[in-house]
Amino acid sequence: MRRFLFILVALLAIAPFALAQETHVVPGVELEQTLEDAAATRRQNEADLERLMEHEEVEQAAAEAGLDLEQVRQAVPQLDDETLAELSARARELENDIAGGFIGGIVIMLILILIIAVLLAVYVID
């Protein structure tokens, strides 16, 4: 009887550890998919900013303001994900304005603000 009780107590003591090893908070496949999605979103956001900087109007506005777009291009990968997402959303809006033919002074000013925001976000963080 003592032996039976000893085995029972030992099994009850070990059982929680065995169960804890089997269950994971986040399955590996789900974690991998989340990381892949985040990387794809980041690549898309970087591409949105690059596409905006390829517009002739943006190049002209940057040149008139004395800003180097190559420096901005180099700064983009250094942005954190949140800042990159915000700037990318603004870039898409500006690109829609340019595509719609609305390239007035306000849009040029917004383009310059966007470019300066990229530079500040990178260099202030560093």
Instruction: Give 53's contacts (C-beta < 8 A, 6+ positions apart).
Output: 59, 62, 69, 72, 73, 115
| pLDDT tens-digit map of 81-119 | 998 898 899 888 888 877 777 667 666 777 777 777 777
State the pLDDT at residue 16.
64
Distance of CA 29 to the CA centre of its chain: 21
pLDDT (mean) for 117-123? 72
Cβ contact 103:57 at 8 Å: yes
Distance in angstroms (rounded) separating the CA atoms of residues 53 and 6: 73
Distance of CA 93 to the CA centre of its chain: 18
| pLDDT tens-digit map of 12-44 | 666 666 555 555 566 778 888 989 999 999 999
| pLDDT tens-digit map of 39-82 | 999 999 999 989 988 888 888 888 888 878 888 888 889 888 99
